[in-house]
Amino acid sequence: MENIYANRMKNVPRSFIREILKVIDDPEIISFAGGLPNADLFPVEEIKNAAVYQFDNYGKEILQYSTTEGYPPLREFIANRYKEKKDLNITQDDVLITHGSQQALDLLGKLFLNEDDFIAIEEPGYLGAIQALAVYTKNFKTVKLCQEGLDLEELEDVLEEFSPKLLYTVPNFQNPSGITYTNKNREKIADLLKKHNIYLIEDDPYGELRFEGEDSVSFKKLIPEQTILLGSFSKIVAPGFRLGWVVAPKDILENLVTAKQGADLHSNYVGQRIIYQFVKENDLDKHIMNIKMRYGSQKNAMIDSIKKYFPKDVEYTNPQGGMFLWVTLPNNISALELFDKAIEKKVAFVPGDPFYIDKKNVNTLRLNYSCANEESIEEGIKRLASTIQELVI
């Protein structure tokens, strides 16, 4: 049937990464392509114990419908953690539980964006945000990422010329680049935004996964009334629960609740109760420290291997946390062409194309280090380096 689908779906890209995962479904392939947390670090026994406790003591209750905002003790835990870790003045009334931060993006798009509205986004930007927000508008305006954070001149130009309603950012260990905005960059961004009628989305799924350096100030601290803060249990506990949250000014949160009621009434209540029992009975900081130690070791193995095997004219980021680093090849090398040849050598990555709005056949790529051990990382980088060398020649 022709012309039956809504116009809003025309500009929504498929998940390039999910399509890649279909191609590399081969146990012999060393994959740096996924964005998955390391399953070996999931607290399986502790979560099982939390689930048993909840079912044994509250079985009928947790299987019932619940409130849209989410389980109050869990929201209070999130608020108190922000007070403790980030010195943010947040209460449970400021927190809405969502089906991961991905649903939060969809709800924000639904709430703010008409089809002719503009949104500013990092370049390169997070594919999941591009997908979620492209349902509501095709008017993305990119702002280049530098080592310090957003290019301030580009940001100012975009703000002045297009008056975007939203600025989407991943300021800590950004996906895909691994870059963290400096505090100075954040302060200047905050000063710019104060002059404009715009909200900043601070998407922070990786913020607690810092294994080097000092913590950065949150935009929610710098411009609290213009910041919408997103968080997730996916990277610090387990993604299978699909539980995240939004922290937003009161009027925005009230409207998000209304939008969510039209979508799903409330997020996975059983999961909320199990997660709460887990964080109540276990040391979350100790668990996160184990993740950080593993990821830090794996990142160092990847950096050491890149230094050892990659051609000298290949550039790369060196993140202080998170799960990804970003590689820039010589200008004459296509990452898509490299991907095809690398698969033949049984190594995979994500070419940079899906992280851009209007650029194709780029010379950049993303490497994930969270799901491969040090030995596999060295072998995979060695294979990738030989493939790059073939294209350089």
Q: Please indicate, yes or no, whether residues 79 and 179 belong to a single structural domain of this protein.
A: yes
Domain assignment present for residue 388? The answer is: yes
Residue 362 within any structural domain of the chain: yes
Number of structural domains (the chain) is: 2
Percent pLDDT > 90 in the chain is: 91
Domain boundary residue among 261, 281, 301? 281
Per the prediction, the chain carries an average pLDDT of: 95
Q: How far apart are CA 135 and CA 103, in angstroms?
A: 13
Distance CA 229, CA 4 (A): 36
Q: What's the mean pLDDT in 163-190?
A: 98
The pTM of the full predicted model, rounded to 2 decimals, is 0.94
- The whole-number pLDDT of residue 19 equals 61
Is there a domain that residue 112 lies in?
yes
How confident is the model at residue 8, as a pLDDT? 76
Tell me which residue of 37, 80, 35 sits closest to 247, measured CA to CA: 80
pLDDT value of residue 393: 64
Q: Exposure pattern of 152-185 as b/e (b: 16+ CB <10 Å)?
A: bebbbebbeeeebbbbbbbbbbbbbbbbbbbeeb
Same domain, 259 and 304: no
Across 49-58, average pLDDT: 98
Q: Could you tell me the pLDDT band of residue 302, with boundaries at 50, 70 and 90?
A: very high
* Residue 50 domain-assigned (yes or no): no
Inside any domain, residue 136: yes
CA distance linking residue 85 with residue 349, whole number of Å? 34
Kindly report the CATH number assigned to the domain that includes residue 254.
3.40.640.10
Q: Which domain holds residue 121?
A: 60-281
User: Considering the domain boundaries, does residue 138 fall inside one?
Assistant: yes
Residue 273 and residue 293 share a domain: no
Distance CA 189, CA 168 (A): 12
Comparing CA positions, the residue from 232, 207, 236 lying closest to residue 321 is 207
In a domain, 39, yes or no: yes
Reported as a pLDDT band with limits 50, 70 and 90, residue 1 is: low
Q: Same domain, yes or no, for 143 and 162?
A: yes
Residues 108 and 209 in one domain: yes
Q: Are 85 and 106 in contact (CB under 8 A)?
A: no
Confidence of residue 233 (pLDDT cuts 50, 70, 90): very high
* Model pLDDT, residue 272: 98
Which CATH number do you get for residue 375? Answer: 3.90.1150.10
Q: Which of 232, 256, 281 is the last residue of a domain?
A: 281
Tell me, yes or no, whether 352 and 248 share the same domain: no
241 vs 18, more confident:
241
Residue 67 lies in a domain: yes
Does 233 share its domain with 316? no
**Residue pLDDT, tens place only, 329-381:** 999 999 999 999 999 999 999 999 999 998 999 999 999 999 999 999 999 99
pLDDT of residue 16: 65
Identify the domain boundary among 242, 264, 281: 281
Whether residue 306 sits in one domain with residue 230: no
Same domain membership, residue 221 and residue 89? yes
28 pLDDT more than 90: no
* β-sheet bridge partners, residue 231: 245
- Based on the domain organization, do 243 and 314 belong to the same domain? no
81 and 189 inside one domain = yes
Quick one: 258 and 324 in the same domain? Answer: no
Residue 226's pLDDT is what? 98
